Structure formats: C-alpha cells, structure tokens
Structure 1
Amino acid sequence: LKDYTAPGHAVWGMTARNREQNFALNLLLDTEIDFVTLLGAAGTGKTLLTLAAGLAQVLDVKSYREIIMTRVTVPVGEDIGFLPGTEEEKMTPW
C-alpha cells in the first residue's frame, strides 16, 4: 500500500488523515479496480477523497476522460411513492 498520509504523496492537495482514508485512496487510485464503494459517517471524507482521486486520474494521469458523480435518489427515511405528481415530477429535485 502507498502511504497517502505523507505530504509527498498528496492527491490533489489531499492527504489521508487515518488508515481508513489511506486504504480508500489506495483503492480509488488502483487502476486494476473498476468499481469502489465507500461507506462511512458524514464528514469522514468519502466525497472529498473520491473527487480528489477522480481529478488526479482524469486531469493528471489521463486514465479517464470524464468524472460522473451520482447520488442516491431517495433520501434515507423518505418514500418517493407518497409524493404527489407523476414519476417525472417526483424526480425533479434529483
């Protein structure tokens, strides 16, 4: 594993603050891994580290042409089925 806690190994100015973030960056930057999902509490750096890794791979290394970001369509605890309107109208916020 590469040590992304070291300033010399920063990814778009971001360094890992703990072993979980270091492991995440190793996974995100491994060209042999096609799909990575990260699960953790809010504010743990999942989105920021993923974006930094994506920018590095698209703009610096040029391994990819674009970044596609998505998010969950139904917020936790809410059911889209009870919203008024058509399916298209229900999906407008997303």
Structure 2
Amino acid sequence: MATPTGSSVLTSIWTLLYGFFQVILNGISQAFSAIFQGFAQSIVIMFQGFGFSLSGYGIYGPLMFIFGLGIAILVAFLFFAVIGPLRDITSLEDDV
C-alpha cells in the first residue's frame, strides 16, 4: 500500500480548488454575457422600432428625423431660457 506524498496531496487539493473556482468563474462569465446580450438586444430593438416608425415617411424619413430633433432642441432651449432667469430671481431672493 503506497502512502501519498506531500506533493500529491497538494496537487489533489489544488485540482479540487481549481475546479471549484473554474465553475464559479464560468457562472459569472455566463451571467455577464447574458446581461450584456440583453442590453445590446434592447438597443437593437429600440433602433429598429425607430427605423420602422420612420419607414412610413419614405424618402422624407431623414427630413422628419431632423425636423423632430430640431423641435426637441427648440423646446429644450426655451425650457432653459425660462428656467435660467427664474433661477437667478429665486437665488437673488435667497441672498437678500
């Protein structure tokens, strides 16, 4: 009957630990893969929906996109043009 040597015991312990960590790392890798695939798929769905919504305009689709973007920028500018002076007035009241 052969007795195990010190290196064979350490080798078997290392093999067990390595297998355990390998399973954990594979699980974490699959979880991250699923998360990023879901995120990427949601972006794809968003852009496809946006593209399909503009398909009804035909050749005027890019023009409608630019028009909608211009309206959004105009609304944001007007919003900040109104909020900015009001914030100055309220901060002046706080200072006085």
For the superposition of Structure 1 and Structure 2, which TM-score range results when normalised by the shorter chain? under 0.3
TM-score by length of 2: 0.22
More helix as a share of residues:
2
Of the two structures, which has the highest relative contact order with CA contacts closer than 8 Å and spacing of 6 or more?
Answer: 1
